[in-house]
Every structure is written in structure tokens, then in C-alpha cells.
Structure 1
Amino acid sequence: MSIVVAGAGIGGLTTALSLHAAGVGDVTVLEAAAAFRPLGVGLNILPNAVRELAELGLLEELSKVSVPTGSLGYYNRHGQLIWHEPRGRAAGYRWPQLSIHRGRLQAVLADAVRERLGPDAIVDDSRVEDFEQLPDGRVRVRHAAAGGASHTEADALIGADGIRSAVRAALHPAEGPPPWNGLIVWRGTTWASPFLDGHTMIIAGDDRRRAVVYPMSGPRPQDGAVLINWAVARAARPGETIETADWNRSVAPDEFLGDFTDLDFDWLDVPALIRTSDEAFIYPMVDRDPLPRWTHGAVTLLGDAAHAMYPMGSNGATQAIMDARVLARELALRPDPRAALAGYETARLSALTELHKSTRRRGPEVVIDLAHQRAPAGFRTADEVFPGTELHDISADFARLGGFDPDLVNHRASYSVDARTADAPTADVGTEALA
């Protein structure tokens, strides 16, 4: 079986590694960039996805370039704690949650692809532009190449080419650009002293502005500083627009710092992180409307190309990794690639659509909105604002939607397939397949 993967991002690379591990060896990853360069800022990989990377034999290498996230705290604009919960192994998972620079994660995945599938498995400067489904059930992929267009035939095409997916655009040519919710996000990284216990992710603000901050590295030997990811967001002002959804559009911190100067707490100075950042990027908070189907014959979508969501709840990279593992399993266990792609869609689409709807409602970050609406001047304790188990229930409901409830992650069947026999039983679909 031959597979073409469009896009050498996290989802595409994990797909290649998962297919190889399951015995599907003829895999080519077509990457649009002229030279493969790991880019971006930080992200969190939830334990359900870390489990999958561990089963691919990557956890040891990833642990060298990441921080195990021990807890998550939500705070109001005054720096008062709304809700705090353990994360990763501290929450009872058998696998950690990892805070990592996107470029470091992508580099680990790409190195593993080249080592296991061969140095030519990732083809740079090869943007997928279109495809044709052939009478024999295969697909012919047209992609740009040095000197002109080229064509590659395969048993299946996996569109893992991001929120501006060319594969998705070919399937839905009238869709248009990603819809914008009116929020602007600025993100960057800064080497700074650790805050709190050095393993905590915080989200702070009110119903208009938000800051997300977490460490992504251990301390530097020379000064003890750690690499910190920060992101701040606010609503756009009248007439303020961003033309393109491109995470690599750089911006000077002075252009937006003034909107966040009061997010300076006794335990963390957010403006100082922005002011001393190594890099800063601007991005409109966009997503994609849910699709009624991802799979069309021998072609399907994966990751952001299938279900791009707002960056709330750490589900972007996490769900792309989960897509890849479920898809590889289906392709390994079903002799008909088209049936395998349909099985993957059955396992993933419905649950991801519900998760997508939750992110549009701000996911678990809604507690910050509620805290501001109920107590804009602050409070002594969150119990004054949130009765009973309301906070716990909001968190637990999102974990269930995202498929990362600890019991489910720890005890569900593995998605790994024995590459020698490909005879592992097919896992149940539905909610379990989202885990």
C-alpha cells in the first residue's frame, strides 16, 4: 500500500511514523516549504497524545526538550486564583503532559521519519496543489516541484496540510478563508526566571483579554533561566483587521504591549515577558467550520485541515496526533484503503465536531469570563463566585469531550498494530477512538 501525506507538520509526520510502525512502508510526505524548517512557538501535548508518541518510541527524546506540565491554574485579571488542577502524572495519568516548543517537537518527529523511513521520505519544496481520483481506486496527486509540476500516484492521499489546506480547498472550493472570531493573538518566547513551581501553566485575564504562560525547558546552566511561552489576546478594535492567518508574521512587542501592562502579578510579570521576548508573532484567532465529512474516496483530511480549532484547551497538536494514530491503524488493518479512510472518519469526526463546538464557547477558559462577570473587582476566594462543583464540572466535561479523561487514557486498548502480522483487533470507535 502506498500513501502520500500532504504536509510535514505534527499530524503529517506522526502519520508517517504510525504507518511505518504498523507495517505500511511506502509513505511519502510532501512539504510545501522549500527547506524544512521547524517553526512556531509553544504548545502542550496532552497525556492521551503523549501515550501515542511513547508507543512510537519517542518519549525519551521528547523529554529532553520539554517540560512535564504539573498543573494548570486559571486566574482573574487581579492575579487571584479561580481554579487549579493537577496535570499529567500528577493527575493520575500514566503518561505526562508535555510543554514544548513546536519547532523542537517537529524536529524530533522529522528526524525519526528520516531515520525510520529513509532520508527521502520527506520531500521539500513540493506543495500539493490538486488531485485526481482514478478509475482503479487510486489517486493521482499533482504537486509543485523544482522546475514545474509533478505527479505522484498512491493508494491514498492524506491532507495534513494545515488550516489553509490545499487538499481541503480542492474538496471544498467554495469554502473561502478561515472565519475570524474578532480576537487577535500575539505569541512569543522569552528566556526568564521560572515562576511558581517551574512546572505550572497559567491562564489569566478577564472577559476581554487573556494571557497564557508556561515554561518549555529546564534551566540554563549559566543563569537558571527557562524558555517561557507566552500568548496574549484581546478583541480587535473597530477597523482593526489582519489579512492572513500566518503564525510566522512577526511584530514588535511595543505595538501591543500597552494593552496588557496591568497583567503584572506578584508571582509573574507578564508585560516583562513580552518586553524582553526573543520573538513575537501576530495571528487572528481563526478556525474552520466543521465539515459533514472528511473522506472522499481515497482522500481524507487530518489535523487542522480537518478540524482547525481555536487554541483553547491544548487540543491542536494533541488531536492531530490522535488522528494520525487512528488513521494508521485503520489503514494497517483494512485491505481496502477507501474503507480504511471511511473507518477513520467514523471513529473521529463526530467527537471532534463536539469538541470544536466547545472551543467556540471558550472551552474550560470560560471560567475566566464567568469570574469577571460575577466579580469584576475580584474576590477573596473563588468559592464566593462559583457554587458547589461548578468549576470541577466544567473541567471534567471538557476532558470527556477531548477524550483525555484519566481513566479512559490509562485503560483503553492500544492503537498500535503489530507490523509483522497486522492482526491486532480493531479498537472500538466513537468516544474511545478520540482518547
Structure 2
Amino acid sequence: HWGGAVMWRGVTWAKPMRTGASFVGLGTHRHRVVVYPISHPDPNTGLALINWIAEVTMDNSEGWKQTGWFRQVPVSKFAHHFAGWTYEWLDVPALIAGADGAYENPMIDRDPVPTWVDGPVALMGDAAHAMYPTGSNGASQAIVDARVLGASLLAHGVTPAALSAYDEKLCGPISQVILRNRGAGPFGLLNLVDERCGGTFSNIDDVIPPAEREAFMAGYKKAAGFAIEQLNTAPRTIADGARVDAAKAA
């Protein structure tokens, strides 16, 4: 399933913006940039390695016509889409131009499936829930899958019951995350701003009050399993030194 969005990814050495660890999203689901640091600043230059994703939604009536899903392209192919995106605290054209290279990806996912288990076989990671890379939860969910599957094997042994418990815990909720990500995921908040004021405002609180913003993000975090309080208070998924009981093996 391709919704028409194409992403270009790159990394550039630049000064971190805002707090120095801020994750920044600009634009709407049709035309946006995501920027965040992926290294500590160099103590001598103050520069950090900044990851950026530039995205544009285009006509997808004929489907994806390029060969493959990931290829290197020149920055000049897409930089014009973001000309003029210059602010006191962030120069998007300069950030894109400063990269050594860029990689093009269509936003591709698959429709959710009713179960990840078929007999003695269980899917995990992208094989189970290929989703739009929104909120970085495609990669993190694969880690969660492995931990939950491991905990199920500890509880039920190497048995069909272990696979069923894993499937019951994750398949339904993560299917909802796939669909949420099609709707821009956490960046849906930017769409609300655009709908209400066209992106022009003096005080964001006049457009979307803090309580509404917090409720929106809390809903996404809860669905994706990222709720801060829930994560911080949760016990370890697998205890240190835990081993599967061979006696429980099928």
C-alpha cells in the first residue's frame, strides 16, 4: 500500500536546534520535514550529526513506478520542494544542501492481517506489521516483538500456546498503529494546526490549547506503547538470567 508520499533521507553536520535534543516536525502530511540530532555535539565545533527526512505527497494513481524501495539520489532532485523553508532557528535548504547524499523511499506499508501465527510459525517485525516509518516505531516495535515472544516462551514453553499468547497481546493493538500511521501518526497534530489556521499564528495556545495537544499525543503514545508513565513503571519484560523450561517444550 503506497499512499503517495515519498521521503528523502539524509544526515548533515549542523548545530542542534531548540533544546539541542529537540525532535522537530514542520509542515503537514502532504509536505513536511522532520529533523532531529543523532549524536552529541562535537565539543570543539558545537556541531552534531542531524538526521533529516523531507517528504512530499504526490499523485499515486498509477502506483510506485521506480525500481526498488530504496535508492540514492542527488539532493538537487527534491531540494526545490523546500526552498524558502528558512527560519531564525532552522535553515532547511542549508541543512539539505549540507548532506553528502540522500536516499529516496516511498512510504510503503501493508494492510494489517488478522493473525501473525500460522501453526508453528510466527511473524515478527516488518514481516508482521510493515508500517509507515512515522514515530520511529517500525524498528522499535520489532524489538518489542522479540521481548514479548521471549516472555511468552518463558511462560508457556516452546509450544503453540506461547505463539498464541504473543499473537493475542500484540497483533490487534499494533494493527491499529499501522492504520494510525497512515493518518500521519503523531504528526496529525500538525494537520490540525493547518486546518485551523493555515499554519499561521502568533500563539499556538490560541490554535490548540495545551490540554488538547497533550491529549492528542497521549492517545498516540498509548496506542504505540510509548506512554511514558506506563513504560517507566512497567517491570522488565524478561527477567535477567531467565531461561525457557525444556520440560515445557512441545
Q: Same fold (TM over 0.5)?
A: yes
8 Å contact kept, 2:131–2:178? yes
Point out the structure with the larger helix share: 2
For structure 2, the residue ranges without an aligned partner over 5 or more in a row are 246-250
Count of residue correspondences: 244
| Counterpart for residue 365 of structure 1 | 187
Supply the AA of the counterpart residue of 1:350.
G
1:33-182 alignment, distance < 5 Å: 179-182=1-4
1:207 and 1:350 mapped to 2: Cα distance? 25
The CA deviation at 1:220 is 2.9
| Counterpart for residue 66 of structure 2 | 243
1:198 to 7, 20, 23: 20
Question: RMSD over aligned Cα, in angstroms?
Answer: 2.1
| Counterpart for residue 56 of structure 2 | 234
Three-state SS of the structure 2 residue aligned to 1:200 is coil
8 Å contact kept, 1:211–1:232? yes
Supply the AA of the counterpart residue of 1:261.
A
1:403 to 202, 205, 225: 225
The one-character-per-residue Cα deviations of 1:335-390 (angstroms, maximum 9, x if unpaired) are 33322122111111111112222112112211211211221260111122225722
The CA deviation at 1:316 is 1.2
Three-state SS of the structure 2 residue aligned to 1:185 is strand
1:278-427 alignment, distance < 5 Å: 278-376=100-198, 378-387=200-209, 389-419=211-241, 422=244
1:375 and 1:298 mapped to 2: Cα distance? 53
Fraction of identical pairs, as percent: 39
TM-score calculated relative to the size of structure 1? 0.53
Three-state SS of the structure 2 residue aligned to 1:358 is helix
TM-score calculated relative to the size of structure 2? 0.89
The one-character-per-residue Cα deviations of 1:148-186 (angstroms, maximum 9, x if unpaired) are xxxxxxxxxxxxxxxxxxxxxxxxxxxxxxx10011110
Three-state SS of the structure 1 residue aligned to 2:34 is strand
Supply the AA of the counterpart residue of 1:347.
K
| Counterpart for residue 127 of structure 1 | none
The CA deviation at 1:278 is 1.9
The CA deviation at 1:237 is 4.6
Three-state SS of the structure 1 residue aligned to 2:55 is strand
Q: Are residues 222 and 295 of structure 1, via their aligned partners in 2, closer, same or farther at CA, if it must alter by over 3 Å? A: same
8 Å contact kept, 1:332–1:417? no
Q: Are residues 411 and 420 of structure 1, via their aligned partners in 2, closer, same or farther at CA, if it must alter by over 3 Å? A: closer
Supply the AA of the counterpart residue of 2:15.
S
8 Å contact kept, 2:10–2:102? yes
The CA deviation at 1:188 is 0.6
8 Å contact kept, 1:216–1:227? yes
2:115 and 2:213 mapped to 1: Cα distance? 34
8 Å contact kept, 2:29–2:57? no
| Counterpart for residue 20 of structure 1 | none
